Amino acid sequence: MSIEQFICKLPKCEQHVHLEGTLTPSLRYSCALRNKVLIPGISSLDQLESGRYPSNYDYEEGQDGSDYLREFLANYYAAMDVLITEQDFFDLATEYFEKARSMNVKYAEIFFDPQAHTSRGISFDVVMNGLIKARDVEHKRSDGVRVQYILCFLRDISAESAAETLQLGLKYKDQIIAVGLDSDERGHPPQKFEQVFIDARKAGFRITAHCDVDQEDTHNNIDYVATKLGGPRSDAPDMAKSYVDGDIIPAYPAGADRIDHGLNAADLPELLTTIKNANLGLTLCPMGYSKHLGPERVFSKLDTLWKAGIPITLNSDDPAYMCRWKQQVVVDVQKHTGWTLHEIAQVERNAISMAWTDLEFKTKFR
C-alpha cells in the first residue's frame, strides 16, 4: 500500500476548518444565480474557477510577511455575499460533509462566523437552521461524519458585538460545542474579549482561539490564550472524566481548552513549557503557512513542537481557497516531514484525543 493509500484509508479528524472557507467556486456561483446576487466582474462559472480567486490562495505578502491573512480575509468575506437563505447554509455544510466523507474524515469540529452574516442582515437563526438541518441529515447516515460546530467571534469587530453574538448562541447551546476567535489579529489581541470568553465558559462552551502565524504580539497572545482566556476552568473535573486514559487533561486553573495555529510557540522554550503544562493541543494548518512563510521555517517549527511532545493536528483551514483538503494536507505534510505511517496515525490519534466528543465515539475511532 502506498503512503497516499494508507492516509486515505486512515480514519481522520478535522478540527480547524472554517465552514465559509469551504465555499467552492461552483457553490458560490450557484448561490449567486439562485439569489440573483452579482459577483463583481464575473459572468460565468469558468471565469470564476479560472480566476485568481477564490480557488487560488496566491496572495501577496506584506512587509511583515503576514499581509496575506488580510488579503485573504477581504476575499473570504466578499465571497459570502451569496449566502443568504437557510438552503445556502444547508448546501454549504452538506458539500463539506460529502467531501469529508470521501476522504474518510470521520469527525469534524467546524468553525462558522455568524457575524459575517448577521452584519449583512442575515439572521442568526437562518444560519443555524441551515447548519443544524445539514448535520441532522449527515448524522442519519451510517457512514456519516460526526460533526460539531464552533461559533467564532470576529476579533476585528467589537467585544460588544461578540457578547451579543454569544447571547444569540445561547439559544443553540446544545448545537454548538465551543466558541472560538478568528479574523484579523493585528490590533485585536485575545484580551479584548476577556469577559466574553469568561461568560462563554460559564455558559458551558469549550474555549479556543486563533493565534495566527507571525502576527503582532504572537508570543504574548499564545501565552494569554494558554493561561488566561476563558478564566477559571470550573468544569475541569467533569472534563477530565470525559477523557480517555493518557489523553489531554487540562492542568492549568485558567486558559483555553485548545489553540488554533499557535505555531510560533516553537520560537520560545518557555512557551513550549507553558503549553505542555496546560496540556493543550494545537490545531495546525501547515500547508497554508508553508505557501507564505516557506516550508523550511514552517517545518522546522513543526518539528520543534513535535519533539517537545505537544499534541498537534493537521487541518485544511480554508480548503476552497488553499486548494488542499484534509487528505492532501496530510499527504503533503508527510512528504515534508518524512513521518512514518505510525507517526501519521499518531497525529490522527492526537486529534481524536483532543476531540470534544463522547468517550464511546473516541474509543470506537481508535
The size of the interface with ligand HPA (CB under 6 A), counted in residues, is 10
Q: At 284, list the grid cell.
A: 495546525
**Which residues ranging from 278 to 337 are in contact with ligand HPA (CB under 6 A)?**
317-318
The CB-side HSE value for 79 (13 A sphere, CA atoms) comes to 26
What are the backbone dihedrals phi and psi of residue 48, each rounded to the nearest 5 degrees, phi first? -65, -45
CB of 215 to ligand HPA, least distance (A): 9
> Residue 360's CB: how many other CB atoms inside 10 A?
8
User: Is residue 212 within the footprint of Zn ion (CB under 5 A)?
Assistant: no
Query: CB-wise, 214 or 247, nearer to ligand HPA?
Result: 214
Residue whose C-alpha is closest to residue 148's, from 34, 17, 254, 1: 17
Q: Which does 199 bind (CB under 5 to 8 A by kind): ligand HPA, Zn ion, none?
A: none
| Chosen residue from 14, 86, 109, 182 binding ligand HPA by CB under 6 A | 182
Q: Which residue type sits at 28?
A: R
Query: CB-wise, 106 or 301, nearer to ligand HPA?
Result: 301
CB of 362 to ligand HPA, least distance (A): 27
CB of 210 to Zn ion, least distance (A): 6
CB of 21 to Zn ion, least distance (A): 7
CA distance 34 to 326: 29
CB of 108 to Zn ion, least distance (A): 14
Cβ 33 vs Cβ 110: under 8 Å: no
Q: Which residue type sits at 57?
A: Y
List C-alpha distances in Å: 353 to 135, 248, 327, 347, 357.
Answer: 22, 7, 19, 10, 9
Q: At what angle do helices 124-140 and 86-102 cross, to 10 degrees?
A: 40
**Residue 317 Ramachandran class (φ > 0 left, ψ -120 to 50 alpha, else beta):** left
CB of 21 to ligand HPA, least distance (A): 5
Give me the 206-225 binding string for ligand HPA, x by CB under 6 A, dash otherwise.
----x-x-------------
Q: Which does 128 bind (CB under 5 to 8 A by kind): Zn ion, ligand HPA, none?
A: none
Query: CB-wise, 264 or 353, nearer to ligand HPA?
Result: 264
CA distance 61 to 63: 7
**Which residues ranging from 229 to 288 are in contact with ligand HPA (CB under 6 A)?**
none
Q: Which does 292 bind (CB under 5 to 8 A by kind): Zn ion, ligand HPA, none?
A: none
Q: Which residue has the cell 497554508?
A: 288
CB of 192 to Zn ion, least distance (A): 18
Give me the 302-341 binding string for Zn ion, x by CB under 5 A, dash otherwise.
---------------x------------------------
CA distance 210 to 71: 17
Binding site for ligand HPA (CB under 6 A): 18, 21, 69, 76, 182-183, 210, 212, 317-318
